[in-house]
């Protein structure tokens, strides 16, 4: 990742929600709601997809560092220096 900038985000995940969304609560905690159940890593995949879309970076730039089987997760996001994400088509 040499010239990439790494950022860590701590999120609280709620699986089986009514819709997929990302919110920041009054307490400053980033909450990620996903509609899929926490089975076979499906919820984790959905969390990565949502955060990547929200941050406008490729999914390959987001990874779970800590909390694979927990509701509280630490996500690492890389962003190449000098760019502000990708342009949506």
3-class DSSP assignment, residue 54? helix
Q: What is the pLDDT of residue 27?
A: 87
Residues 6+ apart with CB under 8 A from 49: 59
Helix, coil or strand: residue 18? coil
Q: Does residue 61 have a pLDDT over 60?
A: yes
**What's residue 71's pLDDT?**
96
Domains of the chain (ranges, CATH numbers): 4-80 (3.30.1200.10)
Mean pLDDT of the chain: 88
Using a pLDDT cut of 90, give the percent of the chain over it: 75
Closest CA to 30 of 71, 68, 2: 71
pTM above 0.95, yes or no: no
Higher pLDDT, 44 or 4: 44
Supply the Cα-derived Rg of the chain in whole angstroms.
13
Q: How far is CA 4 from CA 36, 78, 79, in A?
A: 31, 6, 6
Structure token digits, residue 88: 């949506």
């Amino acid at each position: 990742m040499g010239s990439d900038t790494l950022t860590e985000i701590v999120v609280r995940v709620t699986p089986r929600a009514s819709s997929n969304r990302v919110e920041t609560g009054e307490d400053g905690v980033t909450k990620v709601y996903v509609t899929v159940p926490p089975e076979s890593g499906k919820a984790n995949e959905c969390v990565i997809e949502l955060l990547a879309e929200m941050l406008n970076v490729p999914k390959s730039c987001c990874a779970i560092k800590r909390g694979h089987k927990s509701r509280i997760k630490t996500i690492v996001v890389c962003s190449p220096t000098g760019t502000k994400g990708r342009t949506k088509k």
